[in-house]
Amino acid sequence: MATPVAGTLTFVGGSGRTYIISMYTADTAGYINKFAADTIATATSATYWRPPENVTLTDFSITTGTTQVALVMMVDGAVKNGTVMSTVHHVSTAPARPILRIAFPAGSLIGQKTI
């Protein structure tokens, strides 16, 4: 049975500023995950985050294992090629999560879809 799960995405901007974005997933295939930049993401949060500058996604952490084991990043409503992430490798308790280097332009709508 699918259970809602929280996570965190860490972006680093061209200025060096770090952006910590809260993520919520319903753990259902096809679900567009929710994001919140200034609070904890919930089922009613926005489906995207718009960065104020060019950013690079450097880390993704999810609090526990999920039924659906993969996510894909989206930009401006379309899947961003080469961004499939396994939730198995990004569980917050994993001693060494993969380092990410996924770039997004300023002002784009960054989203994430459970697949």
As beta bridge partners, residue 20 has 10
Q: How far apart are CA 65 and CA 21, in angstroms?
A: 19
The token pair at 112 is: 């994430």
Q: Write out pLDDT tens, residues 3-51.
A: 788 999 999 999 999 999 999 998 888 999 999 999 999 999 999 999 9
Structural domain spans, the chain: 5-114
Question: 0.85 exceeded by the pTM?
Answer: yes
Tokens of 71: 């996510």
What Rg do the C-alpha atoms of the chain give, in angstroms? 13
Which band of pLDDT confidence, cut at 50, 70 and 90, is reported for residue 65?
Answer: low
Residue 86 has pLDDT above 50, yes or no: yes
The Cα 99–Cα 59 span in angstroms is: 6
pLDDT digits (tens, 9 = 90+) for 69-78: 788 899 988 8
